[in-house]
């Protein structure tokens, strides 16, 4: 068993990591930190883990984590992650960071959307952890920047199409919706059951922080600058993201060509499910799993092609992909510990 640790275990990505590591055949959780719950048994906070995680939450001490664990997951907010990563790496641990701190390659872009960066020297070293597209670089990486949840749902369908020049790089619109766990486990009025249930609305419509991350990776795939129109919405449910993406096919390109491009790239991918014509992704079918479902259809009125991608924002959109990255970094089977299927219903 390979010892791993989690910095920041009190949020939803932290507890999802604990769940996945507890069921992993080769990883063992040796430490999990939380300022809020320091000293308390994990199972007293998260009853679902009772009998599966016997640890108490401990204080966040990077050196102690790096001594105890070969790999540390950072499940803390941005800013906190960049403060801890250098110490963890210096102490010999490898790191999968679930925050945004090392996802943007350009320090200026990061600082425009977030805040001053205190560990810019690591931006070059960090590998972007979208496993299906960076599988070559992840195994040797010391520091992996785990992609954002919305971002994964937008990149997975678009990257193969842009790389092959099948769709226009202009005018792409990503209309996405997420379950409320994407906003974290924060005691805010806006996240109460009373505000979420039987409600649907858009938010951050003039600039969600996932936009530059999407544009960075899409531009790399397209070989030209992409400016994306992105609109996130908040769903009355816990988990799941669906992105509906409007693209303009290049002259003569058909829906079938896009499907073929997906199949060429993804046919052997264990976590990517390309749905047959007529079937459309549904968040419930991937809930709690590391899967992405992809589907597409041509709009007969406009000729635009609609792409659909569904995933669980906490699993493939965060902690599941983090474990997938850890598997690659540690030389394990990429699917280890990630085989669960969604519940029906």
Rounded CA separation 213/209 (Å) = 8
**Residue 336, interface with a second copy (CB under 8 A)?**
no
Determine if residue 51 is left, alpha or beta; phi over 0 gives left, psi from -120 to 50 gives alpha, anything else beta: left
Question: b/e for 121-155, b at 16 or more Cβ within 10 A?
Answer: ebbeebbbbbbbbbeeebeebbbbbbbbbbbbbbb
Q: Print the binding letters for residues 128-157 with a second copy: x by CB under 8 A, - otherwise.
A: ------------------------------
1 contacts a second copy (rule: CB under 8 A) = no
Specify the residue, 43 or 91, whose C-beta has the smaller distance to a second copy: 43
Distance CA 92, CA 304 (A): 50
DSSP 81-131: HHHHHHHHHHTT-EEEE-SSTTT-S-HHHHHHHS---S-GGGTTTPEE--H
Beta carbon of residue 43, minimum distance to a second copy (angstroms, whole number): 9
Q: Which residues, 257 to 276, sit near a second copy by CB under 8 A?
A: 273, 275-276
Q: How far is the CB of 276 from a second copy (least distance, A)?
A: 8
The whole-angstrom separation of Cα 196 and Cα 204 is 16
Question: Judged by CB under 8 A, does residue 37 bind a second copy?
Answer: no
CB-wise, 191 or 330, nearer to a second copy?
191
Among 224, 254, 302, 335, interactor with a second copy by CB under 8 A: 302
Q: Give the one residue of 4, 12, 34, 222 binding a second copy; rule: CB under 8 A.
A: 12
Q: Does 23 bind a second copy (CB under 8 A)?
A: yes
Q: Does 202 bind a second copy (CB under 8 A)?
A: yes
Sorted by sequence, the CB contacts under 8 Å of residue 54 that are 6+ apart come out as 41, 42, 43
Tell which one of 89, 235, 247, 311 touches a second copy (CB under 8 A). 235
DSSP string across 200-222: -EE-STT--THHHHHHHHHHHHH
**Interface positions, 42-71, toward a second copy (CB under 8 A):** 44, 46-52
Least distance CB 292 / a second copy (angstroms): 12
Stretch that binds a second copy, among 108-116, 117-125, 176-184, 260-268 (CB under 8 A): 176-184
Does residue 293 bind a second copy (CB under 8 A)? yes
Q: Could you say whether residue 109 binds a second copy (CB under 8 A)? A: no
Q: Which stretch binds a second copy (CB under 8 A): 92-100, 102-110, 142-150, 232-240?
A: 232-240
Per the CB < 8 A criterion, the answer to whether 268 and 287 are in contact is no
Question: Can you read off the two tokens belonging to residue 8?
Answer: 């920041």
Report the nearest approach of a second copy to the CB of residue 240 (Å): 6
Q: What is the DSSP letter of 136?
A: T
Pick the piece of the chain touching a second copy (CB under 8 A) from 69-77, 129-137, 190-198, 327-335. 190-198
Please identify which residue in 306, 320, 324, 326 interacts with a second copy, judged by CB under 8 A.
306
Nearest CA among 20, 45, 50 for reference residue 33: 45
Q: Among all residues, which ones are annotated catalytic?
A: 149
Q: Is 19 in the site for a second copy (CB under 8 A)?
A: yes
Q: How far is the CB of 50 from a second copy (least distance, A)?
A: 6
- Cross-strand pairs, 175: 231, 244
């Amino acid at each position: 068993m390979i010892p791993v640790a989690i910095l920041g275990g009190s949020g939803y990505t932290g507890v999802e990591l604990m769940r996945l590591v507890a069921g992993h055949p080769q990883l063992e959780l040796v430490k999990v930190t939380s300022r809020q719950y320091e000293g308390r048994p994990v199972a007293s906070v998260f009853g679902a883990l009772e009998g599966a995680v016997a640890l108490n939450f401990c204080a966040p001490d990077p050196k102690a984590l790096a001594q105890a664990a070969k790999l540390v997951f950072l499940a803390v907010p941005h800013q906190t992650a960049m403060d801890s990563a250098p110490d963890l790496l210096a102490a010999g641990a490898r790191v999968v960071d679930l925050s945004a701190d090392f996802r943007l390659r350009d320090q200026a872009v990061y600082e425009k959307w977030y805040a001053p960066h205190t560990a810019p020297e690591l931006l070059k070293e960090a590998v972007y952890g979208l496993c299906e597209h960076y599988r070559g670089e992840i195994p040797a990486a010391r520091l992996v920047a785990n992609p954002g949840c919305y971002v994964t749902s937008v990149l997975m369908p678009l990257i193969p199409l842009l790389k092959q020049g099948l769709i226009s790089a202009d005018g792409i619109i990503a209309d996405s919706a997420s379950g409320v766990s994407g906003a974290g486990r924060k005691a805010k009025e806006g996240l109460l059951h009373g505000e979420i249930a039987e409600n649907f609305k858009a938010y951050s419509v003039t600039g969600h922080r996932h936009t530059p991350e999407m544009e960075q990776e899409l531009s790399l795939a397209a070989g030209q600058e992409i400016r994306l129109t992105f609109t996130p919405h908040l769903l009355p449910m816990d988990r799941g993201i669906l992105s509906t993406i409007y693209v303009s096919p290049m002259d003569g390109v058909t829906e079938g060509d896009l499907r073929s491009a997906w199949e060429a790239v993804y046919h052997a991918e264990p976590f990517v499910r390309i749905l047959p014509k007529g079937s459309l992704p549904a968040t419930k079918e991937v809930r709690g799993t590391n899967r992405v479902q992809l589907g597409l259809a041509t709009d007969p009125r406009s000729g635009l092609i609609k792409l659909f991608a569904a995933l669980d924002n906490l699993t493939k959109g965060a902690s599941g992909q983090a474990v997938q990255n850890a598997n690659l970094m540690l030389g394990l089977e990429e699917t280890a510990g990630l085989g669960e299927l969604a519940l029906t219903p």
